[in-house]
A = this chain, B = another copy of it.
Amino acid sequence: MRTSIATVCLSGTLDEKFVAAKEAGFDGVEIFEPDLVASPHSPEAIRARAQELGLTLDLYQPFRDFEGVGPDLLEQNLRRAEAKFTLMNRLGIDTMLLCSNVATARSGDEQLAAAQLRQLGDLAERYGVRVAYEALAWGRFVDSYEVAARIVRLADHPRIGVCLDSFHILSKGHNPEAIETIPAEKIFFVQMADAPLLSMDVLSWSRHHRLFPGEGGFALGAFMGHLVRTGYDGPVSLEIFNDTFRQSDPRDTAIDARRSLRWLEHETAIWLGGSGGRAARMSTAALPAVAPPSDVNYVELRTDAIDQMRDLLTQLGFRAHGRHRTKSVELWSQGAARMVLGRPETDRHQPTVAGMGLSVRDPEAALRRATDLLAPRVYRVEDPDDETLVGVRAPDGSEVFFGAESAGEPGWVREFGPPAGGDAAHIECVDHINLAQPWQHFDAGVLFLHSVLDLHTQPSMEVAAPVGLVRSQVLASADGVLRVALNLVPSAADADAILPQHIAFAASDVLALARAARDRGFRPLDIPTNYYDDIQARFDIAPELLADLQELNVMYDRDESGEFLHFYTHPIGTVFLEVVERRDDYAGYGALNAPVRLAAQYQQRRDAPEGVPA
């Protein structure tokens, strides 16, 4: 698959965009006209720079409001087009994007549009360029790719073809199947965009909310499958208008973008079932298959408040294994929940939840899939007799390590000292991991977990915090063993202040654990009495249970599948812990309780800015 990206997807100067695209591994770029107009470099210098970087210039875009006009305007439009063809010759670009007329078309007569496109084709012929006609979803008369393709057929000119853009087709709910009826040689260009499934005017949706493939809700594997079946083998390009990407580091965005196309290639291969049909000329290699992780092997925390965290883990019943035999980290465990604890490394920014280890059937295959998806490798310093763990870095800077499955305790546990004391084992394993994401990395974080770890998104939610709404997106493996919630901090807020990271553990009896912890000096996050009055009104809870919950600051939820009991610790630095008990088949996260927890944390910072109240 030849890959390309429109310069409008990336922030910065045109040169910064080129460098970012190149470094992420794109084959080419589309020149978005405003980027050219604003550049201090001549078209010839821009062409030379692209050549120097080894990038092809695949498309000049957009040209607007050409067809369906009266004779006077047609003349002006041909003059405008000629100026752009001249410019394209200077840039060495052979294809121009023509959007269907939005503003000046007086007629939807397809014969008229075709005749005018034919004239444009003749002009393009003289400059050795060609025109890719695209139906905008909000075109005045032409707003469907099937109509655009029909007009191109009527124009019947070798320099006139279509451009297919997945957003314009799927946002209108049009069926992409008919792509297969378009001859491959008439498909001059393809732009891929994903988007969340929003109900809003399509122009605003398109201009602000597009996403890279795999980050939204469109069925893009099928779309590409139909395209591959035509025999198309031109560039597959990204044209993503997104308010966040416009503000982000272009190097990060470009890697996210390139990953999305690798994922798309895989999805296409899956949809095609390994065979693209007789016409397929585009390679669509699937990613290495990986089975879902069999458990969360460990979670690694990096915090300066290490003594406070030791106290807390002790109170919750974790056992200390002591330090790693060669490294300054220590291990704490309870049941199959393992916490690797250390101070932050000084040479780079490191999130507090610095990493997670996953047990997988084939660690090398998991690594190959991850690096195939452009995840940067990270290395564990290992002695010859240490267990081998292989790892990559996520967009937020945290690390994911893969280790081999084992019948009992993982081998690397022996690299630490033996555990002190017996295992209380109220806590059984990690239930889920909550990662607050900087606003710039949220969508990239979703794509990383979805593509690299094959996690799937659950419906997203918004949770009201006292200083803004938090968008929360859970991704889970097929069997629910690995559940990660990404929380998007309001862009204006200080992430650490309003939304610490957190790890939730699963316990068999949360009330017993809370009581045992209290006996060891644990003080949970205070939950207001008003909350218990409210859940009593909502759920009509048995008085004894309600008294237990309130006494132990345990929160409660119930749905048709079961019950959920959970409590929170006070934040230690920028992380806190949660313990949950799922009764029957409860599969949620106590969403209605989250605002109360956030308010309690906010109140605590007001009352005791230094940390845990005395």
Interface positions of A (Cβ within 8 A of B): 11-13, 33-34, 36-43, 76, 79-80, 83-84, 87, 198-201, 204, 207-208, 243, 246-247, 439-440, 462, 464, 466-469, 490-493, 526, 528-531, 533-534, 536-538, 540, 595-596, 599-600, 602-603, 606
Contacts and interface: CB of A to CB of B under 8 A. Distances in A.
Contacts of A207: 462
Contacts of A490: 243, 246-247
A596 B200 contact: no
Contacts of A534: 33, 37
A34 B595 contact: yes
A407 B234 CA distance: 70
A73 to B, nearest CB: 13
A126 to B, nearest CB: 17
27 contacts: A11-B466, A13-B603, A33-B534, A34-B595, A34-B596, A36-B530, A37-B531, A38-B466, A38-B530, A38-B600, A76-B540, A79-B540, A83-B533, A83-B536, A83-B537, A84-B537, A87-B533, A87-B537, A199-B200, A200-B200, A200-B201, A207-B462, A243-B469, A246-B468, A247-B467, A247-B468, A247-B493
Contacts of A469: 208, 243, 246
Contact of A38 (B83, B208, B243, B528): B528
A38 B531 contact: yes
A596 to B, nearest CB: 5
A462 B528 CA distance: 44
A76, A87, A439, A492: residue with the most chain B Cβ atoms closer than 10 Å: A492
Given A33-B534, A37-B530, A243-B468, 14 more contacts: A11-B466, A13-B466, A37-B534, A38-B528, A38-B599, A39-B599, A40-B528, A40-B529, A42-B529, A200-B200, A200-B204, A208-B469, A440-B492, A491-B492
Contact of A491 (B13, B246, B491, B595): B491
A484 to B, nearest CB: 24
B538 A80 contact: yes
A12 B538 CA distance: 25
Contacts of A492: 247, 439-440, 491-492
A531 B41 CA distance: 11
B596 A38 contact: yes
A438 B211 CA distance: 27
Given A13-B603, A466-B12, A603-B40, A80 B530 contact: no
Nearest to A11: B467
A127 to B, nearest CB: 14
B246 A467 contact: yes
Nearest to A40: B528
A467 B204 CA distance: 19
A596 B528 contact: no
A276 to B, nearest CB: 38
A3 B270 CA distance: 61
A208 to B, nearest CB: 8
A540 B538 CA distance: 70
A83 B447 CA distance: 45
B80 A37 contact: no
Contacts of A491: 491-492
A89 to B, nearest CB: 13
A43 B538 contact: no
Contacts of A83: 533, 536-537
A23 to B, nearest CB: 18
A606 B13 contact: yes
Contacts of A43: 530
A33 B39 CA distance: 54
Nearest to A526: B40
A288 to B, nearest CB: 36
A601 to B, nearest CB: 10
A144 to B, nearest CB: 20
B37 A528 contact: yes
Contacts of A600: 38, 40
Nearest to A462: B207
Contacts of A595: 34, 38
A83 B536 CA distance: 9
A13 to B, nearest CB: 6
A5 to B, nearest CB: 16
A40, A43, A199, A526: residue with the most chain B Cβ atoms closer than 10 Å: A40
Contacts of A439: 492
